[in-house]
């Protein structure tokens, strides 16, 4: 039975407040500007939430992995119960001409040769975007078989982009001609202006790669990690050029979600940060700058804040996981690709936003431990897609249909970006 209007309004209000509370905490802590928070929402997680709710989205990767991600962030995300005194001044902050000033301060054309280490799920997508922008790309992995598979997937990804109107069939072939593969890391990075590490989430492995790249890459090369977990200082310490190291967090699929998070380490130079932002802007990405190291960056902190509240609502018996997902994707989630939490708050006005916060902040979950609901799924082996059961039942056919719908929806949004 669908939620009644009153229950739906209550659930929607709490979920939106959970997103706004963490967004405000990120700005008040000096991690990001309101504009950068909105960029991440409108170009990455908000696009996905317009298509799928938080439960079904997390079920794609599995509750065992969510347990790790959420476990690290729940101890740190906002538990504020009072409306911040700075609300009005925060809502009046704007991005202004930051992007213009960044582009004026660096020449992205200086980066012509890009090396990508790791040809997996993210690596091939990162490579195809740089190749499509006219950069020369060298892609590295441990075997010829992995690299052949990556090139085939790059072909598929580029052909999908023709549906957005951004590329023609001849552009696909030209982009593929820009890509070369190698199993020798030194050959991959030897002439690179930018090196992007996209290996698996293993810190020891990443530090080893950065140490090797530091020796083989030109002295001027900027070194980037696509990690969603580790902070720049953790891998920059393996190099002799920490001022030229920065995190660039992509979202999957990287060529359909235009947002990237640029994470500055404590030693990242202004020149490095400016050059990287200018480069990604020049190839059509939407960079948001995280000014200081913080676990989860912007996107994952917001997603965990939303999930914590969604879990609390389900645990309280107010709504089911299905009802929460349905409510998100059919109400405020539909607006997130066009307006992030701060733009939405500015549009509603300070008074209405203050009312939303005052009505809901005291009701939000402040749990620092993993929700029992999540732990029960892990303990029972109901991990989502990977086991065929979670909050939903999954078959190969339903999984493929869900993912195809997500991909097609993201392609439609990408077409509107043109």
Judgement on whether residues 344 and 313 belong to the same structural domain of the protein:
yes
Q: Are 137 and 180 in contact (CB under 8 A)?
A: yes
Buried b (16+ CB within 10 A) or exposed e, 104-122: eebebeebebbbbbbbeeb
CA distance from start to end of the chain? 40
- pLDDT at residue 5, rounded to an integer: 80
Where is the domain boundary, 263, 290, 317? 290
**Residue 102, in any domain of the structure:** no
Would you give the distance in Å from CA 408 to the centre of its chain?
19
Residues 6 or more apart in contact with residue 347 via CB below 8 angstroms: 339
Domain annotation covers residue 315: yes
* pLDDT number for residue 417: 86
* Range with the poorest average pLDDT among 26-30, 98-102, 298-302, 340-344: 98-102
Q: Is the bond preceding residue 100 a cis peptide, omega within 30 degrees?
A: no
74 closest CA partner among 360, 364, 351: 364
User: What is the spatial distance between Cα 205 and Cα 197, in angstroms, rounded to a whole number?
Assistant: 11
* Residue whose pair of structure tokens reads 């190698």 in the numeric block: 182
Phi/psi at 70 (5° precision): -70, -35
Q: What's the pLDDT at 100? A: 39
pTM of the model: 0.94
pLDDT at 110: 83
* Max intra-chain CA distance, the chain: 63
Q: Is the domain of 64 the same as that of 147?
A: no
Per-residue model confidence as pLDDT tens digits over 33-90: 999 999 999 999 999 999 999 999 999 999 999 999 999 999 999 999 999 988 999 9
Token output for 333: 């989630």
**Cβ neighbours of residue 21 closer than 8 Å, sequence gap 6 or more:** 78, 80, 305, 357, 361, 364
Nearest Cα to Cα of residue 162 among 128, 123, 115, 136: 128
Q: What is the mean pLDDT of residues 189-207?
A: 97
What are the φ/ψ torsions at residue 139 (nearest 5 degrees)?
Answer: -115, 130
Judge whether 362 lies within some domain: yes
Q: Which pLDDT score is estimated for 105?
A: 55
Coil/strand/helix, residue 137: strand
Check whether residue 78 and residue 131 sit in a common domain.
Answer: no
How sure is the predictor about 93, in pLDDT bands with cuts at 50, 70 and 90? confident
Give the integer Cα–Cα distance in Å for 43 and 109.
24
DSSP string computed for 247-298: EEEE-SSTTT--EEEEEE-TT--HHHHHHHHHHHHHTT-EEEEE-S--TTTT
Mean pLDDT of 375-401: 97
Question: Given 274, 290, 306, which residue is the final one in a domain?
Answer: 290
Residue 166 sits in the same domain as residue 277:
yes
Task: Provide mean pLDDT across the span 395-406.
Answer: 97
Same domain? For 314 and 372 the reply is yes
Q: Is the pLDDT of residue 101 over 50?
A: no
**Confidence check: pLDDT of 377 > 50:** yes
* Alpha carbons 222 and 203: distance in angstroms, whole number: 19
Do 120 and 41 share a structural domain?
Answer: no
On whether residue 269 sits in a domain, the answer given is yes
Q: Whose structure tokens read 């733009």?
A: 343
CA separation for the pair 318, 93 (Å, rounded): 36
Domain assignment present for residue 327? The answer is yes
> What's the mean pLDDT in 208-226?
98
- At 326, the pLDDT band (50, 70, 90 cuts) reads very high
Residues 230 and 245 in one domain: yes
Average pLDDT over residues 288-303: 96
Domain-embedded: residue 256: yes
C-alpha–C-alpha distance, residues 369 and 358, integer Å: 25
| Residue-level pLDDT at 3 | 80
Measured between alpha carbons, how far is 75 from 244 in angstroms, rounded to an integer?
31
What are the structure tokens assigned to 217, written together? 């890459």
- 130 and 27, same structural domain? no
Percent of the chain with pLDDT over 70: 96
Strand pairing partners for 138? 115, 180
326 CB neighbour count, 10 Å cutoff: 18
Token representation of residue 231: 């902070």
Alpha helices in 107-184 (DSSP H): 123-132, 144-161, 169-177
At residue 165, the pLDDT reads 86
CATH of the domain at 111: 3.40.50.720
The secondary structure of residue 3, as a DSSP letter, is P
State pLDDT tens for residues 244-289. Answer: 999 999 999 999 999 999 999 999 999 999 999 999 999 999 999 9
Q: Is residue 101 part of a domain?
A: no
- pLDDT grade for 359, boundaries at 50, 70 and 90: very high
Mean pLDDT of the chain: 94
Say yes or no: 68 and 122 in one domain. Answer: no
Q: Which among 241, 267, 290 is the end of a domain?
A: 290
Q: Are residues 113 and 253 in the same domain?
A: yes
For position 245, what pLDDT does the model report? 98
Both 262 and 397 in one domain: the answer is no
So what's the pLDDT on residue 4? 82
Q: How many domains does the chain have?
A: 2
Range of the domain at 145: 107-290
- Cα separation of 306 and 175, whole Å? 38
| 158-179 pLDDT per residue, tens | 999 998 887 888 899 999 999 9
Instruction: Identify whether 165 is part of a domain.
Output: yes
Please report, for the domain that includes residue 321, its CATH number: 1.10.1040.10
Residues 187 and 278 in one domain: yes
């Amino acid at each position: 039975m669908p939620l009644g209007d009153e229950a739906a309004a209550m659930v929607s209000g709490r979920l939106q407040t959970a997103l706004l509370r963490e967004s405000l905490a990120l700005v008040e802590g000096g991690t990001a500007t309101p504009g950068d928070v909105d960029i991440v929402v409108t170009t990455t997680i908000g696009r996905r939430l317009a298509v799928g709710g938080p439960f079904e989205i997390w079920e794609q990767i599995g509750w065992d992995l969510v347990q790790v991600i959420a476990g690290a962030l729940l101890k740190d995300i906002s538990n504020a119960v009072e409306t911040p005194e700075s609300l009005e001044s925060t809502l009046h902050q704007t991005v202004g001409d930051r992007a213009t000033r960044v582009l004026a301060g660096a020449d992205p054309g200086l980066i012509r040769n890009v090396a990508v280490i790791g040809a997996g799920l993210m690596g091939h997508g990162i490579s195809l975007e740089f190749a499509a922008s006219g950069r020369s790309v060298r892609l590295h992995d441990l075997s010829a078989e992995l690299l052949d598979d990556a090139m085939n997937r790059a072909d598929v990804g580029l052909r999908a982009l023709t549906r957005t109107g951004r590329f023609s069939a001849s552009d696909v072939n030209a982009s593929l001609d820009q890509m070369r593969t190698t199993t020798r890391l030194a050959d991959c990075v030897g002439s690179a202006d930018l090196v992007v590490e996209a290996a698996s989430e293993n810190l020891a492995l990443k530090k080893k790669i950065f140490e090797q790249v530091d020796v083989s890459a030109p002295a001027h090369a900027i070194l980037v990690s696509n990690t969603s977990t580790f902070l720049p200082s953790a891998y920059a310490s393996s190099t002799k050029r920490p001022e030229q190291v920065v995190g660039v967090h992509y979202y999957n699929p990287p060529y359909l979600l235009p947002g990237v998070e640029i994470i500055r380490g404590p030693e990242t130079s202004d020149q490095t940060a400016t050059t990287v932002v200018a480069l990604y802007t020049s190839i059509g990405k939407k960079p948001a700058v995280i000014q200081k190291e913080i676990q989860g960056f912007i996107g994952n902190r917001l997603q965990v804040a939303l999930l914590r509240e969604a879990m609390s609502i389900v645990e309280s018996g107010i709504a089911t996981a299905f009802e929460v997902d349905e409510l998100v994707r059919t109400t405020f989630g539909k607006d997130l690709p066009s307006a992030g939490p701060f733009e939405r708050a500015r549009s509603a006005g300070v008074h209405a936003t203050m009312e939303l916060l005052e009505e809901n902040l005291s009701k939000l979950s402040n749990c620092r431990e993993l929700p029992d609901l999540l732990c029960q799924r892990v303990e029972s082996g109901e991990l989502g897609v990977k086991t065929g059961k979670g909050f939903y039942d999954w078959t190969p056919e339903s999984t493929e249909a869900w993912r195809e719908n997500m991909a097609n929806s993201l392609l439609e949004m990408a077409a509107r970006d043109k």
